[in-house]
Amino acid sequence: MKDTLILNANAKINITLQVGGVREDGYHSLRSIMAPITLCDTVTLTKSDDLGCKCSRPLPTESDNIAYKAAKLFFETTGINGGVDIFIKKRIPVSAGMGGGSTDAAATLKGLNEMYDAGLSENELCEIGVKLGADVPFCIYNRPCFAEGIGEILTPIRIYRPLPLVVTIGSEGASTKLMYQIIDSIENREDWSHTDALHYLNIGNIRRAARSMRNDFELCYDDESGVAESRRLLLESGAIAAMMSGSGSSVFGVYNNMYLAKRAVETIRKNNRFAWYCTTT
């Protein structure tokens, strides 16, 4: 057993995201193609007699941080008498629809399972993770999946070749709760299929896969929003298509190749925007 572990905690994008109705448990049903990307936080776990959590950015620490909550729940569930100091080097944008908190929690659960030789299976870790958030099981799987339920029913899928991406963010993200309220107020939303996106990802047709992307949450933002401006900048820099991830406000563009994507990063940064080059994993 190791006393210190350093883990990458990958961000995610939603290549498609369809919001259904409200379930009896109060959650919305979802269908989504999700993929981890190379943009990641670094989570360092150090064995301790107590629980502690610190972050490189001014984020909730200690008991308010989801990684701390994950560690606490791990020890409560397993009955292991132990502790850990958690340090999170943040790179993933906060409140941006990229699973930044969920992936830190997932890395913490996976790392503690190894550190304390708990022997929990991936599915058992997911059973703990879903109590913390709907995206945590996907972040534990950390591979492309088609998600259903509230996001916790995961079917692995094939993405034939990594998608070259640029991620940008140009406005504060609204709360997910507010986004669901807006979605619920939109009447007669169109039903649509994920079949084309799944097919083109599977055969490696980047152009058609990109043009099959869709996210219901984009209905919540008008043409004057920061999301619309981010999409415009990505398309003008050569993206095949651009779309918001999750409930926003990060927007990613898909490019034909790595060269075009990296050149686009330079262009977008000249507009005083954060921008990152990455790929699906």
Are 122 and 110 in contact by the 8 Å Cβ rule? The answer is no
Are 218 and 225 in contact by the 8 Å Cβ rule? The answer is no
Cα torsion 157, 159, 104, 122 to 10°: value is 30
Catalytic residue among 12, 69, 104, 110: 12
What are the residues whose beta carbons fall under 8 Å from the beta carbon of 219, sequence distance 6 or more? 182, 183, 186, 189
Are 273 and 230 in contact by the 8 Å Cβ rule? The answer is yes
Q: Active site includes 49?
A: no
Tokens of 156: 């692995």
Tokens of 91: 């790179």
Catalytic residue among 41, 104, 135, 216: 135
Measured CA distances, 2 to 74, 192, 222 (Å):
17, 48, 50
Are 57 and 40 in contact by the 8 Å Cβ rule? The answer is no
Q: Active site includes 12?
A: yes
The residues that are catalytic are: 12, 135
